[in-house]
Structure 1
Amino acid sequence: MGRITIRDFHDDDLDAVVQLWWEARSSAEQPVYSLAEVTASCREDHAVVAVRDEKVVAAAVGRAAHAQGWIVFFGVAEASRSGNVSGALLDALERKMAPIGLSTLSVLMPEGSRLDLLTSNGFQVRHSLRYLERQMPVQRRELDLLKDVGGRVLPRHLWENVAGMRREKQLLEERLVAPLAQPDLADRYGVVPPHAVMLFGPPGTGKTTFAKAVASRLDWPFVEVFPSRLGDGKTSVAASLRGVFEQIGELEHGVVFIDEVEEIASQRSDPPTPTQGVTNELLKIVADFRAREGLLLVCATNFVRGLDAAFLRHGRFDYVLPIGLPDDEAREAIWRRYVPAHLAGAIDFGSLVSESAGLTPADIEYAARRASQEALARALRAGDTGSGSRTDLATDDYLAALAVTRATVSEAQLTTFLEDIETLARL
């Protein structure tokens, strides 16, 4: 069975959508809108479909009235209800409708419907009529602003997709997500929601992934500021940085991420270096951030001991959190992401997990893709065109790829990281 892809509705898909509507009508999830309304919205409003083996297996159709969006039809073929097809389809429809400037996306469902398909994607049941709605992460007035600063709304479920790394996830959940998502609960215990956090660890350990996962978990826009892109020759880097953050400050909510922050936050010296003005400006920006609600600044560095001491003092960053190499559970999840599903049952994941200790997620991805590429080349040399017998991947193929994969993080870097946890981490 092939993989599922999500794409925009085409006119040729209409018969399949009609079939899905009739299937829904004969089940407990009878459509609220008539077939005529659904087909009209497919052609005139907004629709996306999920396709497997060139066959439409799910569809989501929406229409908008001013700032209110409605899901006119949402149907998934019975055989395709496993997995995250529903969530991916709803995400795709939301992204398609977002540029209109919706404030709310709503759906009416008949009694007996599987509401979990919607509640797991951010919709909330409002009253006994089974009316569900969710607030859009970005309001209409912020759309152009978010585009100007290079921000975007990330797919949901990124948090759940970070497998393993339980300690890191627990820290982020307790220190960042919960106080920001549940401010009343935090206030009850005297917890002040965080405004700025520093993530540190060896290169490639997933600091960016965790920052995005936090934004996804909060359902806040994600804005990444790239130090290397600041300044245009006419405007200084410090002035450019200030201008970007002034724009970001107009957002109601947002997770702002600066990777490799050591580029603009290195230790100051006497005489001053050319970057010292940028470091001073960033310190002022962090102070300003602490006076704002609804915004979280996340900085990441591979060299936390190279940062200016002022950044690590209490009162600047609420937490200085270590992000290390993936644990056993995380490595297995990464392997399973890249091993073809039809081969997973024959693969000794325990051996792969053991042999990939000390590797970053990117290292494991490289080894998995190398094994796949070698297997494809072997099949092509054997004359396999995809229609006959095939030369499948085996555990030994992945182990062979691991044998020639160089670890990104050296023993010296790992030792330094463990020392930094003891001396600089603030949990």
Structure 2
Amino acid sequence: MTNAPAGHAHVRDFHDDDLDGIVRLWERAHDLGMTPVYSLAEVVASCHADHAVVAVHGDRVLGAAVGRAAHAQGWIVFFHVDADGGADAERVGSQLLDRLERRMAALGLAKLSVLLTDAADSVSHLSENGFELRHQLRYLERPLPVQRRELDLLKTVGGRILPRHLWRNVAGMTKEKQLLEERLVTPLARPELAERFGVLPPRAVMLFGPPGTGKTTFAKAVASRLDWPFVEVFPSRLAETSSGLASALRQTFETIAELEHAVVFIDEVEEIASRRRGDPPSPTQGVTNELLKLLSEFRDLEGRLLICATNFVRTLDAAFLRHGRFDYVLPIGLPDAEARAAIWARYIPADVLAGIERDLLVDASEGLTPADIEYAARRAAQEALASALRAVPVTTATGAITVTGDDAPAALMTTADYLRALRSTRATVSKSAERDFLEDIDALARL
């Protein structure tokens, strides 16, 4: 379609019936490769709630300028003239900017600003209207993971948004992180890439391994990596409701279904999905049946991931683990030497680390979980602090012991401090439990 000559355009304030024209202009700019910085939804919202002017010819909207104010600064959220680029287009563009500026001047703004993509062709319009191009500026944005409508839903099910750094805070555990990245994170975060390779995004995954190996930490890290809300379901708490555990589970999952995205986590799932034993039915059999139904329904929803964790995978009901329910059954075991080194580095103070023989600690902590190593590191720190305080006591009038200023202990912690703490640390995972875990990997893991 040939554009109407811009020279005949009339510039006026936005009317509600101009909305279709605004949408067409936004799409036109997008099609020409000049993708607006602000989304169409934001532009439409500002048309109604903030300030907008249009250039029209007959019943056709040829151009628009839309602005909003924030903290004494005005922002042009959309500016486009759909004309042939001649002198008339320049004039119409200037008229739009002039009229928008006059409308917003009454707000007492100190500055009017605009963000454009590199491909935008509006720079000449703006510079001729007194806008100065600032170089060496970068625009960054981050979509919020939860919209206002979903916040109340999250509160209802005890969900929350986790910090984005949790993934990189998982010290070591390189193999496990790589497995989760490839199997879970990438197909869910980049579905278009997964589709190219024929990979279906996972809906449910089981993590199993000895206690203290970091299954909960990994579940939270996956949610953090995806930037999805994290909802932890506690069967023991749901069992306390008047409706009973099975009914409370269904209500919780129905609420989760209203969220756009969510990582749902059930720890110690063996409590509600243990092996059914026939007649007479066990107290948890009805709950297990309900959970199996919920899992089937959950798999029909996009943008959600169920992560279950168990210390005793061999006790789970066979129907619970069969193909079609869980996409993967992934082992989370004891940290290897590389992981133990990274865990020690995380818990040893930076100004102490260089003087510590970390190799000795790595060897001495073989067979310990991440939680065990954290305990040993914190115990060593506490014992070293107590020893230093006893070395430089200052008795006050009340008999209290304080350490201040030049009296503060200068001695740093040593490798011996950590080795001493390790000798007093009891391993969470026994040798027999470790053997059982290796057997479970061969028998039940699905990578």
**Pick from 435, 438, 446: which aligns with 1:415?**
435
Change (3 A) 1:131 1:380: closer
Task: Tell me how far apart the structure 1 counterparts of residues 354 and 199 of structure 2 sit (CA, whole Å).
Answer: 47
Contact 1:215 1:221 in 2 (8 A): yes
| Matched residue, 1:140 | 148
Q: Deviations over 1:202-258 (max 9, x none)?
A: 000000111111111111011100111113352111001111111111100010000
Q: Does 1:380 align with 2:389?
A: yes
Contact 1:268 1:308 in 2 (8 A): yes
Task: Tell me how far apart the structure 2 counterparts of residues 383 and 170 of structure 1 sit (CA, whole Å).
Answer: 48
- How big is the alpha-carbon RMSD for the aligned residues of Structure 1 and Structure 2? 2.4
Quote the sequence identity (%). Answer: 71
Task: Tell me how far apart the structure 1 counterparts of residues 425 and 154 of structure 2 sit (CA, whole Å).
Answer: 39
Task: Tell me how far apart the structure 2 counterparts of residues 381 and 159 of structure 1 sit (CA, whole Å).
Answer: 39
**Pick from 334, 337, 341: which aligns with 2:350?**
341
Unaligned runs of 5+ in 2: 1-69, 78-113, 119-135, 394-402
Unaligned runs of 5+ in 1: 1-62, 71-106, 112-127
| Matched residue, 1:257 | 265
Quote how far apart the aligned CAs of 1:132 are.
2.2
1:28-427 alignment, distance < 5 Å = 130-270=138-278, 271-383=280-392, 385-388=403-406, 389-427=409-447
Task: Tell me how far apart the structure 2 counterparts of residues 129 and 174 of structure 1 sit (CA, whole Å).
Answer: 35
Quote how far apart the aligned CAs of 1:198 are.
0.2
Contact 1:378 1:391 in 2 (8 A): no
Quote how far apart the aligned CAs of 1:64 are.
8.9
Contact 1:335 1:349 in 2 (8 A): yes
The one-letter amino acid paired with 2:422 is L
| Matched residue, 2:110 | none
Task: Tell me how far apart the structure 2 counterparts of residues 64 and 386 of structure 1 sit (CA, whole Å).
Answer: 45
Task: Tell me how far apart the structure 1 counterparts of residues 321 and 389 of structure 2 sit (CA, whole Å).
Answer: 55
1:3-22 alignment, distance < 5 Å = none
Task: Tell me how far apart the structure 2 counterparts of residues 294 and 415 of structure 1 sit (CA, whole Å).
Answer: 37
Contact 2:263 2:304 in 1 (8 A): yes
Task: Tell me how far apart the structure 1 counterparts of residues 290 and 242 of structure 2 sit (CA, whole Å).
Answer: 18
Change (3 A) 1:243 1:401: same
Normalised by the size of structure 2, how large is the TM-score? Answer: 0.66
Contact 2:172 2:343 in 1 (8 A): no
Normalised by the size of structure 1, how large is the TM-score? Answer: 0.69
Larger radius of gyration: 2
Quote how far apart the aligned CAs of 1:259 are.
0.4
Task: Tell me how far apart the structure 1 counterparts of residues 195 and 322 of structure 2 sit (CA, whole Å).
Answer: 24
Q: Which moved more, 1:283-292 or 1:326-335?
A: 326-335
Number of matched pairs: 310
Contact 1:108 1:130 in 2 (8 A): no
Q: Deviations over 1:9-37 (max 9, x none)?
A: xxxxxxxxxxxxxxxxxxxxxxxxxxxxx
> Which 4+ stretches in 1 moved above 4 angstroms?
none
Quote how far apart the aligned CAs of 1:369 are.
1.1
The one-letter amino acid paired with 1:268 is R
Contact 1:225 1:256 in 2 (8 A): yes
Q: Deviations over 1:30-87 (max 9, x none)?
A: xxxxxxxxxxxxxxxxxxxxxxxxxxxxxxxxx799xx9x9xxxxxxxxxxxxxxxxx
The one-letter amino acid paired with 2:386 is A
